[in-house]
Structure 1
Amino acid sequence: MSSESEKKTAGQKPIRNESGTDVFNQNLNCPYFPCHGNVPAEVFNCKHCYCPLYFIFPENCGGEFRILPSGIKDCSGCGLPHGPGGHEHVLAKLREHFGRIAKTDHDPAESE
């Protein structure tokens, strides 16, 4: 059986898709790993350590969140970007968002 340090080093190796883009990465040295208890550690993806949808989609990100009385969005119950298919979900939502921005930037009627 491998030592704990060997497991940690192996756990940091990214998985790439056919175009060479990292789609999965774990940081087993992170003191918070796994930071969301609703995703099993063996499939936990650290690729989006801080969710890029936090500010872009405060009401329609697709994940489980709640708004605290202070107005802060609490995503501690969400494992969406960290589980299987999470990376693809984040990319789809970002494409949707930036597509709307591009359309608005080029269509003066939509920005009024």
Structure 2
Amino acid sequence: MSEGVVVDVAQLEEALLTRAMGIVIGLADIEPDPRAPDVDAEVLDAALAAATGLHQLLAFRRAGTTATTFAEQAEATAGLQSATEQLTKAAEAVTGLLELAEYAARAGAQDLN
């Protein structure tokens, strides 16, 4: 960090907590769509994987900077690897849903012609 820069860690952590709570509240607002229960499950699974990965990523931020032993650093790195896996899983699920939506849009456009 640059000299002369003062960081209020408590204020930063509060801002991150506020952002995380916004994500959780947003997930709570999702209502099931009886027309597409399979898609709901896929969307919620992707959101859960993303939230888990985000949690692990933020945990790494702290663990990676406070590790004082090789074992602690290895544990922090393992947590980062797990975050990578969860976020990749979420990204793949979202990509699959996007492909499905694009396919449905093309099929719908053909039905209109």
| TM-score, shorter chain, exceeding 0.5 | no
Structure number with bigger Rg: 2
Larger proportion of strand: 1
Q: Structure 1 length as normaliser, TM-score? A: 0.34
